[in-house]
Amino acid sequence: MTSLIRLAIMRGGMQIRELGHLVLYVRDLSVSAGFYRDVLGWRPIFDGSRAKLPFAAAAFNSPGGRTHHELLLIEVGPSAAPLPAGPRVGMYHFGVKIGDSDDELREAESALRANGVVILGATDHGITHSLYVVDPDGNEIELYVDVPGVDWDDPDLWAQPVLRPLLL
């Protein structure tokens, strides 16, 4: 058990067990659902075609099906305000683990390029190797693999982060 979790328990705080799901507002459900399904490989579990909701939505899971849903897209239409550029309060990006090796990251890079997805960056964090992309609505996504043998409880990893270009 990590020291942060022990501290929360000692103070009587609740304990988060895992990140359950992510909900994104999107302009065009069919475009965004296609991106998450066909490019990133999320498994659709609900697309609104079997039952009518009061709003257009699609739900997805990773292929492992860890929980009832991991991603929900809700259509808000073409007139929705875009995400503001530059530093802002709110989500910077969300990360999705796509495998366990740089070979899998190279395969992802190939698939992204084949689908015309612009790769914003590739970073070696010392603890992860990451590619950064944006979805059709401008949400940034980190696609990463963990570096084997890293001690995630080592405070030096967080105190002295590594940020260098990743060469795949």
C-alpha to C-alpha distance for 72 and 18, rounded to whole angstroms: 17
pTM: 0.87
Question: What pLDDT was estimated at residue 3?
Answer: 60
What CA–CA distances, in Å, run from 105 to 3, 45, 71, 120? Answer: 31, 25, 21, 15
The class of domain 8-78 in CATH terms is: alpha beta
How many Cβ atoms are within 10 Å of 35's Cβ, its own excluded? 21
Of the pLDDT bands very low, low, confident and very high (cuts 50, 70, 90), residue 1 is low
For the chain, the structural domain boundaries read 8-78, 93-168
pLDDT of 103-159, one tens digit each?
A: 999 999 999 999 999 999 999 998 999 999 999 999 999 999 999 988 888 888 888
Of residues 33 and 53, more confidently modeled: 33
CATH topology of domain 93-168: 2,3-Dihydroxybiphenyl 1,2-Dioxygenase; domain 1 (3.10.180)
